[in-house]
């Protein structure tokens, strides 16, 4: 599996190993692998945007000394990214898509011959944002929407060849990833023109609080891992698994509610975190 250095990926690798699987866990640094080795997981240095790393992974699988077959590929690696569409630099858009989409395409292409031979499974980790986007989440949500479309095409292409394709859509998960994605917001804010600041300044200020609240209300990495493991091991898997009650509610709402009503709902939730709105609520509570 890719993206197993920390959080949900590491928890999934440990849970699969606990259930008797030999797990090749993609990590970015040697130091990330120490804790995984202790859990009987084999860490593999893997930057999915690096063709040499991907080729080395293929060689490791094809040359397995115990001639084990590849049961499943879990595409979990990802980077977050937040910011208004207008002011997020194109290089940042490309960086997010390079990891969240194109890197997964590269790994999947490279491992499909082995998966077809074994009639294995591809498990793509998407997000609730793959179904539902809102102001300030465009870069990340766009990459996850693309992952959903990729998965649908792949599922239909591989079904005749016995390879199953499953999507997992997490909502809030208590990991470090969300915080990492907000680190660039201060730089983004500093680079905005006065006109852009007038349009998006309060939105950019609200995003850290909104992400923090969504993450805090989410499930732990260990809970999320159990759903991912189900996607890997269920004999007749669903095409999609959702992680978290809030994610399930939002995804169902996105299917049935009119777009403008959904827009009002998401905007209302986001506005609770606007600086002026938070100040007004705090003042009202104090006077009450």
**Residues designated catalytic:** 140
The CB-side HSE value for 152 (13 A sphere, CA atoms) comes to 6
8 A C-beta contact, residue 18 and residue 44: no
> Which spans in the chain are helix H?
7-18, 30-38, 51-62, 90-97, 103-118, 138-158, 177-181, 185-190, 194-216, 221-233, 245-256, 259-271, 275-287
Distances (CA, A) of 222 to 10, 118, 225, 240, 250: 9, 28, 5, 19, 22
8 A C-beta contact, residue 122 and residue 165: yes
What is the full DSSP assignment across 238-270? -SEEEESHHHHHHHHHHHHS-HHHHHHHHHHHH
Residues 6+ apart with CB under 8 A from 82: 136, 137, 139, 140, 181, 182, 185, 207, 211
220, 242, 201: which is closest to 87 by C-alpha? 201
Euclidean distance between CA atoms 181 and 179, whole angstroms = 5
8 A C-beta contact, residue 145 and residue 97: no
> Coil, helix or strand for 97?
helix
């Amino acid at each position: 599996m890719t993206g197993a250095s920390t959080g949900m990926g590491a928890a999934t690798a440990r849970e699969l190993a606990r259930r008797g699987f030999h797990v090749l866990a993609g990590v970015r640094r040697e130091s990330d692998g120490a804790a995984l080795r202790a859990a009987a997981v084999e860490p593999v240095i893997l930057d999915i945007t690096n063709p040499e790393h991907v080729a080395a992974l293929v060689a490791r699988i094809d040359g397995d000394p115990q001639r084990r077959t590849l049961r499943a590929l879990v595409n979990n690696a990802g980077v977050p990214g937040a910011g208004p569409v207008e002011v997020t630099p194109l290089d940042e858009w490309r960086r997010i898509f390079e990891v969240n989409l194109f890197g997964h395409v590269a790994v999947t292409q490279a491992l499909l011959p082995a998966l077809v031979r074994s009639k294995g499974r591809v498990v793509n980790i998407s997000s609730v944002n793959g179904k539902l986007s809102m102001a300030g989440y465009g870069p990340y949500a766009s990459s996850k929407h693309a992952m959903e479309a990729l998965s649908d095409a792949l599922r239909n292409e591989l079904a005749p060849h016995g390879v199953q394709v499953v999507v997992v859509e997490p909502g809030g998960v208590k990991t470090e990833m969300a915080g990492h994605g907000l680190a660039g917001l201060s730089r983004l804010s500093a680079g905005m023109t006065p006109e852009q600041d007038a349009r998006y300044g309060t939105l950019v200020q609200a995003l850290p609080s909104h992400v923090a609240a969504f993450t805090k209300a989410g499930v732990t990495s260990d809970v999320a891992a159990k759903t991912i493991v189900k996607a890997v091991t269920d004999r007749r898997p669903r095409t999609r698994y959702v992680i978290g009650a809030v994610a399930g509610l939002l995804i169902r709402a996105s299917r049935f509610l009119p777009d403008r009503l959904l827009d009002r709902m998401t905007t209302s939730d986001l506005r609770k975190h606007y600086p002026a709105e938070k100040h007004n609520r705090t003042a009202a509570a104090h006077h009450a």
